[in-house]
Amino acid sequence: MAQKDNQGNWLDPKGRPVPEEYIRPEDKKKDKLVESILKRVVKLSAKLETEKAEIVDSIEKYLKDLAKDNRVREGWKGNILLYNFSQNLCIERRIDESISFDERLQMVKTTIDKWIGQKLKDTDPTLSKVIAQAFSVDKQGRINTAMLLKLKRIDIQDAEWKKAMQLLDDSIFVKSSKMALRFRMKGTKNPDNGWTEISLNFNDIQVQPKKDTNDGN
């Protein structure tokens, strides 16, 4: 029900009391509908949270036991695909990490600038452009993480460059880590139709309203 004061008056959006006899029947009906649906949604959300926690725990236990059985120390930080025996059911566990850089990134830039100054005549113009793009920032002042990580893949056998890349490695830290689970299955009658994803996103589930049998159609 809507919020009420000690006298049983209904409180409007501004907190002003309205005697119940002045509440329109359609408003009472709508209030009841919204409360009923929200109660169901809250319970459903809690159920999903509990189920997800149990699913994650069961996957982590399997992976931990697998590593133990094979006498391997494995952190299982990467993405994992798990199939059933017939390979018509699949669970994908993805770990999406958001990385950033600490204050040592400035030293990376200084070291690379020094290296470019020393190798000015021998520096490839294309490489200079890539480096400039890597350290450029957008309008919000954010650094281009993807471009910076590309620098690590450039094979340059030079002590100053390697020093800069080591500093870049040391400056990286994980800002946030998010786990995502996806579930897929193949049709039992025609497996060649490919994979169907089982959606747990409420808004991705397609539902048609029930047709009213009393509407005369």
Nearest residue to 20 via CA among 36, 33, 39, 1 = 1
Q: How far is CA 216 from CA 81, 210, 211, in A?
A: 52, 14, 11
Residue extents of the structural domains in the chain: 10-44, 103-171
89 C-beta neighbours (distance < 10 Å), count: 15
| Mean pLDDT, the chain, whole residue set | 86
In order along its 217 residues, the chain shows pLDDT tens digits of 789 999 999 999 999 999 999 999 999 999 999 999 999 999 999 999 999 999 999 999 999 999 999 988 877 777 899 999 999 999 999 888 788 888 888 899 898 888 888 775 666 677 778 888 888 876 666 778 888 888 888 888 888 889 999 999 999 888 888 888 999 998 765 556 688 899 888 888 777 777 766 655 5
Q: How far is CA 58 from CA 63, 96, 195, 200, in A?
A: 9, 20, 23, 18
Check residue 215 and give its pLDDT: 58
Check residue 217 and give its pLDDT: 52
Site of tokens 């709508």: 30
Q: How far is CA 21 from CA 1, 67, 174, in A?
A: 15, 68, 58
Q: How far apart are CA 75 and CA 135, in angstroms?
A: 32
38 C-beta neighbours (distance < 10 Å), count: 10
